[in-house]
Structure 1
Amino acid sequence: MSDFIRLLPDNVANQIAAGEVVQRPASVVKELLENAVDAGATDIKLIVKDAGRSLIQLIDNGRGMSPSDARMSFERHATSKIQTANDLFNLHTNGFRGEALASIAAIAHVVLRTKTAGDELATEIRINGGEFISEQVVAGPVGSSFEVKNLFYNIPARRNFLKSNSIETRHIIDAFQRVAFTYPKIAFSFEHNGSEVFKLPAGSSKQWNSNTRQRVVNIMGKSTNEKLVPIHEETDILSIKGFITKPSFAKKKKGEQFFFVNNRFIKSPYLHHAVINAYDGLLNQGSHPSYFLYLDVPKNSVDINIHPTKTEIKFDNERDLYAIIRSTIKHSLGQYNVVPSLDFERDASLDTPYSYKDRAYVTNPVIEIDQGFNPFKEKGNTKFNKERSAKNLQWEALYLSDNPENELIENITVDMDNVTQDLFDEAQEAAALKTFQVQAKFIASSIKSGMVLIDQHAAHQRILYEEYLAKVTMEGLGHQQLLFPLKVSISKNDVMIIEQIRQDLNSAGFHISEIQEEALVLDSIPSAIAEKEVLGIIESLIENFRNEVPESSFSQVDLITKSLAKSLAIKPGTSLNNREQENLLNKLFSCKEPNYSPFGKKTFITLSLNDLEEKFNLE
């Protein structure tokens, strides 16, 4: 009988490993950035074309590699970061598995140029799809330059599963930001298709707090500075520092939330819950705070090797960390509530306005009163009483006729008639009542087969969605011209999304006159919304497109109408009178798809007579 088990060729094994390590272009960016940081670089430049499909190039001024190290770096499980298994529990670096470069070279065309300070010339190595092509000596500076071209060229199925360029670009931006946030003393720059996206200078201050704050502001935008509240706490098991945002600046989107553990970005729903719990009672429903939290824990108390991307980690004492994070944030928020000016960089000279700052103290203010005035004595102050009477006659003459008593009686009679009529109308309406509201969330109504229970929020979303979609696609949603242009603040990351959907926003009634570096200027908005709602709707639109921007123009319009419907639909807890309830019910069942909201949630359920009888017959 022949044998069936055999060893895989190296190129096949590397392609399989690449499936775990390199999921998309952003995975390559992450690995190359972390290697550059571990190499001691102080200046790192990222160049990307076509969202990483055509080119990902990373240039650093780190220590570089010798010719033999350069060749060895592309071998599987070759690494300078660890030597024994115990080193996995005492890590001081980012990449350590030794799979990244081998996996990347297996699915792309790779060119490496590297040079150490002790070498006269640089080494250039070319590898295509895991196959060694050439090695030669070239001129070059100290450091390393990686060029990754034609990613997934030999795995077309994986290439076809990549999302649109806009989505892949945002994943690259996320990977870039996570490393840039962690190392504020390193200069980073990012160029996409020839345009500069970020240019982040290295922090020059000796204080970690100042450097990190400046890095956060440079990435998220200048308007972020006033929103930040610093936090700091030192314990035996945890050191936590960083920034949270004030509750008044909470946003509809969840994207600006970052945890870093021992200089490594992580995702932890459990610790995220601790942060949200600390804001209990301070946020509006559906709002999310931003935070940039840096945790230092003993290296032997955390396992970062449980996931290929190393973004999910396991703590030995999660409960204790939860309690410390929650109490630390609560303390900082408490300080902010007591002392609103927690921004220590404020200009203290502005505390006292204008020229009063240096004005000398003169005397107490003097209150003058009429000592002889007695309101219960008609003749106590003749002059004052005469003046008061004259003034009273002036305004009373505007309202009283020649016969004020009769007019007063007539007014009372009219008011009583109105009250009687209102009560009569209410009694008639109650007699013809067809619907009623349950806990200001649901609308119940009787039908032939039993009863129907409607979710008013989901139902109104469906109604608005179909109305807006019909208007936008056929004639455009109506808009209202603003007397003064409205400026809406956005982050640098969101400008790219706004530029992409600008034409569709115009069809929806958002007329953008100017797109600035960190703001939009609107000269008109949809007729259905108020100015105070614009910021929340724009944030919702950006968040929706951040997560699922399709290629077709119709789908972009569809997302806009969904966002408008979600933002403008009546909220749970809104009381509706009988006419509003019936109007909602009638409009829902006039929709093309009344069964579900635009987001797939049921709008109503029915209970048959048999269902109701079974409920009562249960023992």
Structure 2
Amino acid sequence: MSDIIQLLPDSVANQIAAGEVVQRPASAVKELIENAIDAGADRIKLILKDAGKTLIQVIDNGCGMSVTDARICFERHATSKIRKAEDLFAIRTMGFRGEAMASIAAIAQVELKTKRVEDELGTVVQIEGSKVINQFPEALANGTSISVKNLFYNIPARRNFLKSNSVEMRHIIEEFQRIALAYPNIFLSMHSDNNELFHLSAGSLKQRIVHLFGNNYNQKLVPVEEETTIINIQGFVGKPEYAKKTRGEQFFFVNKRFIRDHYLNHAVMNAYEEILAGETFPLYVLFIDIDPAKIDINVHPTKTEIKYEDDKSIYAILRSAVKRSLGRYNITPSLDFDQETSFSDMISSKPLEEIQFPTITFNPNFNPFEVDGEGNSINKYKSGDSYARGIDRKIGIPENWDSLYQIAEQEEAVQLPLLPVEEIEADDDIKATVAESRKLFFQIHNQYIVSQIHSGLMLIDQQAAHERILFEQYKAHLDDNKGSSQQSLFPSTIELSSADFELMNDLLPELRSLGFQLRPFGKTTYVIEGIPADLGNNVNETKVVEQLLEDFKNNKAELKLDKRDNLARSLAKSSAIKTGTPLDNDSMSDLIDRLFACESPNISIYGKPTIITITLQELMDKFGKI
């Protein structure tokens, strides 16, 4: 039998490596910008076409490469950062394995232009599918410019799996933001289809955060700084009142390398314990500086995971640093032993002689047991009789004082017959009263609706029921494009992050089908000119759109829904009546009628029951009856 094991050709091996390193255009953007940073550049420009599918170009003013380096950098495992195995544990650069350039060149048409300061001429290298097509000298500016054209052109299956331009653009923006946060001292710009999306001047970390996410973030930040013998921590965390329902702006950097770490995230969330609203996530941008010998960054192809030598100590230090910063800036509750601040509001600034103290007057001749000749009480308590309570209204007692006596003034309850209407031998008025009582619904803790049915009783979750009704309604609007809109008297504007702006662009046709009237205004701003008519009049249009985007991202991360289902679900959740909302009988009756008109009335949009029935037999069992 002949030998069957063979070495793969370099081009095939590079394509396999590309599957790990370059998963989408955003991966190539990340690798190219990191190489520019390692080259010492302080000005980097990113140019994109068709969300990186047609063109990704990175231009920097770094050290450049020689003729030989320009050619060998496309070879697999060619790197300038490692010479021996021990160097793996002293890495402070971004790239180090020498796979990025070879992987990109295997699946795209690449043109590299580079020149060192000491050279008179630069070098141009053109590669297609790992094959060098041309190399020649040319007069160039100092630094490097690399163009990646037609990504995955020779792997059609991989190219077909790429998402829409708006989705791929959001991934590119996320990678760009991470690098921009890690290096606020570097000028970065980003152009997409001849439009400049970012123009980030070199500055401080706080300035970079504000430039990336918007001016309103300036008031949301709390600085964190801690120095220990194990690690140094610096950065910012968000105030708890600005926490969101999605894990949007949460960034960890270890030695300026972005990482994902659930263990460290738990440390931060633990620091927010008891001051954060349920199911919300705070903003944080935190940098951890640690000895490279105490970590291993070569544990994941994308280098976003790290192993630590002493992770428990890092957890404790990080938690304490965040908690101390929140307390230092009066975010967490604190007790002043000199004066409890809650008492300060009770102290009036008026002079003592201007304060009017309440007085009590009474009738010394009042006898509550006095009766007339027929034995009836003369001094019966009445809500309008102030002397009967010994109180003079003229001294400024609040009008709602009478609420303490409303129980005594309640009308006596009428016991209705417990027989069917047709079996009652009474006049028509009583029959009508009993028939009407069958349409009565009751609320339990402003959360559940109770209704009597033939076999027992029925409990309905009012929020889940309304979400189901709205979900099916919005799905219908998306299918027939007939969502009615309510024009705003005064249009409002909403400023979004760049990623959310791209998300809004992607959702715009569906949002208009639902009844939203939106139009872009500037680079990251939308004007809200109308909202769906069924959302009501007294709503904050900006908050509706913000909550819709947050719910959409949250559903996408957890449920993996398609866009239309996700959008209908998100808007239904945002606009449904909430637990704790009181409803009158007509509102409850209308809600139940609309629920039973749905295709799936028994199941909520999250797969949980909306209706629970309790039979008479179950009630009898509870009471121990046979």
TM-score, normalised via structure 2 length: 0.76
Q: Letter of the aligned partner of 1:515 in structure 2? A: F
Give matches, 1:303-314, under 5 Å. 303-314=296-307
Measure the CA separation in 1 of the matches of 2:584 and 2:476: 28
How many angstroms does 1:334 deviate by?
1.9
Measure the CA separation in 2 of the matches of 1:436 and 1:370: 47
Matched, 1:71 2:71: yes
Q: How has the CA–CA distance of structure 1 residues 610 and 500 changed in structure 2, closer, same or farther, with 3 Å as cutoff?
A: same
User: What secondary structure, in the 3-state scheme, does the structure 2 residue paired with 1:337 have?
Assistant: coil
Q: Is the 8 A contact 1:497 1:546 kept in 2?
A: no
Aligned to 1:496: 502
Aligned to 2:343: none
**Relative to structure 2, which stretch is displaced further, 589-598 or 122-131?**
589-598
How many angstroms does 1:286 deviate by?
3.7
Aligned to 1:37: 37
Identity %: 50
Measure the CA separation in 2 of the matches of 1:304 and 1:494: 31
The count of aligned residue pairs is 548
Measure the CA separation in 1 of the matches of 2:539 and 2:241: 14
Matched, 1:167 2:167: yes
Q: Which residue, out of 250, 273, 281, partners 1:280?
A: 273
User: What secondary structure, in the 3-state scheme, does the structure 1 residue paired with 2:330 have?
Assistant: helix
Q: How has the CA–CA distance of structure 1 residues 230 and 53 changed in structure 2, closer, same or farther, with 3 Å as cutoff?
A: same
Aligned to 2:313: 320
Aligned to 1:420: 411
Aligned to 1:133: 133
Q: Letter of the aligned partner of 1:278 in structure 2? A: A
Measure the CA separation in 2 of the matches of 1:167 and 1:370: 65
Aligned to 2:116: 116
Q: Is the 8 A contact 2:438 2:452 kept in 1?
A: no
Q: How has the CA–CA distance of structure 1 residues 4 and 450 changed in structure 2, closer, same or farther, with 3 Å as cutoff?
A: farther
Q: Is the 8 A contact 1:537 1:563 kept in 2?
A: no
How many angstroms does 1:291 deviate by?
1.3
Q: How has the CA–CA distance of structure 1 residues 26 and 599 changed in structure 2, closer, same or farther, with 3 Å as cutoff?
A: farther
Measure the CA separation in 2 of the matches of 1:503 and 1:132: 44
Matched, 1:568 2:559: no
Q: Letter of the aligned partner of 1:129 in structure 2? A: G
Matched, 1:592 2:592: no
**Relative to structure 2, which stretch is displaced further, 130-139 or 443-452?**
443-452
Measure the CA separation in 2 of the matches of 1:611 and 1:77: 71
Q: Is the 8 A contact 2:173 2:498 kept in 1?
A: no
How many angstroms does 1:239 deviate by?
1.3
Q: Is the 8 A contact 2:253 2:287 kept in 1?
A: yes
Measure the CA separation in 1 of the matches of 2:622 and 2:360: 71
Measure the CA separation in 2 of the matches of 1:277 and 1:535: 31
Give matches, 1:16-27, under 5 Å. 16-27=16-27
How many angstroms does 1:506 deviate by?
4.1
Measure the CA separation in 1 of the matches of 2:43 and 2:213: 20
**Relative to structure 2, which stretch is displaced further, 419-428 or 37-46?**
419-428
Matched, 1:525 2:518: no
Matched, 1:254 2:247: yes
Aligned to 2:190: 190
Q: How has the CA–CA distance of structure 1 residues 120 and 518 changed in structure 2, closer, same or farther, with 3 Å as cutoff?
A: same
Q: Letter of the aligned partner of 2:573 in structure 1? A: K
User: What secondary structure, in the 3-state scheme, does the structure 1 residue paired with 2:134 have?
Assistant: strand
Q: Letter of the aligned partner of 1:324 in structure 2? A: I
**Relative to structure 2, which stretch is displaced further, 520-529 or 178-187?**
520-529
Aligned to 2:234: 241
Aligned to 2:424: none
Q: How has the CA–CA distance of structure 1 residues 503 and 152 changed in structure 2, closer, same or farther, with 3 Å as cutoff?
A: closer
Aligned to 2:293: 300
- Per-residue CA deviation, residues 173-204 of structure 1 (Å, 9 max, x unaligned), is 1111111110111111100011001011112x
How many angstroms does 1:449 deviate by?
9.3
Q: How has the CA–CA distance of structure 1 residues 614 and 9 changed in structure 2, closer, same or farther, with 3 Å as cutoff?
A: farther
Measure the CA separation in 1 of the matches of 2:58 and 2:302: 20
Measure the CA separation in 2 of the matches of 1:122 and 1:282: 58
- Per-residue CA deviation, residues 389-437 of structure 1 (Å, 9 max, x unaligned), is xxxxxxxxxx99xxxxxxxxxx99xx99993266668997999699988
User: What secondary structure, in the 3-state scheme, does the structure 1 residue paired with 2:175 have?
Assistant: helix
Measure the CA separation in 1 of the matches of 2:82 and 2:272: 41
**Relative to structure 2, which stretch is displaced further, 45-54 or 235-244?**
235-244
Q: Is the 8 A contact 1:45 1:60 kept in 2?
A: yes
**CA RMSD across the alignment:** 4.3
Measure the CA separation in 1 of the matches of 2:521 and 2:488: 17
Gaps of 5+ in 2: 334-348, 364-383, 386-401, 419-433, 557-561
Q: Which residue, out of 198, 205, 212, partners 1:212?
A: 205
User: What secondary structure, in the 3-state scheme, does the structure 1 residue paired with 2:93 have?
Assistant: coil
Q: How has the CA–CA distance of structure 1 residues 441 and 96 changed in structure 2, closer, same or farther, with 3 Å as cutoff?
A: farther
- Per-residue CA deviation, residues 100-129 of structure 1 (Å, 9 max, x unaligned), is 100100001011111111111011111101
How many angstroms does 1:468 deviate by?
3.2
**Relative to structure 2, which stretch is displaced further, 63-72 or 426-435?**
426-435
Aligned to 1:84: 84
Q: Letter of the aligned partner of 2:535 in structure 1? A: A
User: What secondary structure, in the 3-state scheme, does the structure 2 residue paired with 1:157 have?
Assistant: helix
Measure the CA separation in 1 of the matches of 2:604 and 2:525: 32
**Relative to structure 2, which stretch is displaced further, 483-492 or 313-322?**
483-492
Q: Is the 8 A contact 1:253 1:539 kept in 2?
A: no
- Per-residue CA deviation, residues 26-67 of structure 1 (Å, 9 max, x unaligned), is 000000011000010010010010011111011111001111
Measure the CA separation in 1 of the matches of 2:573 and 2:236: 30
Q: How has the CA–CA distance of structure 1 residues 15 and 85 changed in structure 2, closer, same or farther, with 3 Å as cutoff?
A: same
Q: Letter of the aligned partner of 1:326 in structure 2? A: R
Q: Is the 8 A contact 1:50 1:165 kept in 2?
A: yes
Aligned to 2:103: 103
Measure the CA separation in 2 of the matches of 1:116 and 1:301: 35
Give matches, 1:410-559, under 5 Å. 419-420=410-411, 456-471=462-477, 474=480, 476-512=482-518, 515-526=521-532, 527-529=534-536, 533-543=540-550, 558-559=565-566
Q: Letter of the aligned partner of 2:544 in structure 1? A: I
Matched, 1:51 2:62: no
Measure the CA separation in 2 of the matches of 1:85 and 1:612: 73
Q: How has the CA–CA distance of structure 1 residues 600 and 323 changed in structure 2, closer, same or farther, with 3 Å as cutoff?
A: same
**Relative to structure 2, which stretch is displaced further, 60-69 or 326-335?**
326-335
**Relative to structure 2, which stretch is displaced further, 432-441 or 458-467?**
432-441
Measure the CA separation in 1 of the matches of 2:322 and 2:577: 33
User: What secondary structure, in the 3-state scheme, does the structure 2 residue paired with 1:93 have?
Assistant: coil
Measure the CA separation in 1 of the matches of 2:160 and 2:616: 52
How many angstroms does 1:515 deviate by?
2.5
Aligned to 2:324: 331
Measure the CA separation in 1 of the matches of 2:355 and 2:105: 94
Q: How has the CA–CA distance of structure 1 residues 591 and 532 changed in structure 2, closer, same or farther, with 3 Å as cutoff?
A: closer
Measure the CA separation in 1 of the matches of 2:167 and 2:196: 18
Q: How has the CA–CA distance of structure 1 residues 589 and 365 changed in structure 2, closer, same or farther, with 3 Å as cutoff?
A: closer
User: What secondary structure, in the 3-state scheme, does the structure 2 residue paired with 1:44 have?
Assistant: strand
Q: How has the CA–CA distance of structure 1 residues 608 and 421 changed in structure 2, closer, same or farther, with 3 Å as cutoff?
A: closer
Measure the CA separation in 2 of the matches of 1:142 and 1:564: 52
Q: Letter of the aligned partner of 1:18 in structure 2? A: A
Aligned to 1:226: 219
Q: Letter of the aligned partner of 2:272 in structure 1? A: Y
Q: Letter of the aligned partner of 1:265 in structure 2? A: F
How many angstroms does 1:276 deviate by?
2.2
Aligned to 1:153: 153
Q: Letter of the aligned partner of 1:568 in structure 2? A: S
Q: How has the CA–CA distance of structure 1 residues 420 and 258 changed in structure 2, closer, same or farther, with 3 Å as cutoff?
A: same
How many angstroms does 1:288 deviate by?
2.4
Measure the CA separation in 2 of the matches of 1:615 and 1:89: 67
Q: Which residue, out of 280, 283, 289, partners 1:290?
A: 283
How many angstroms does 1:161 deviate by?
0.5
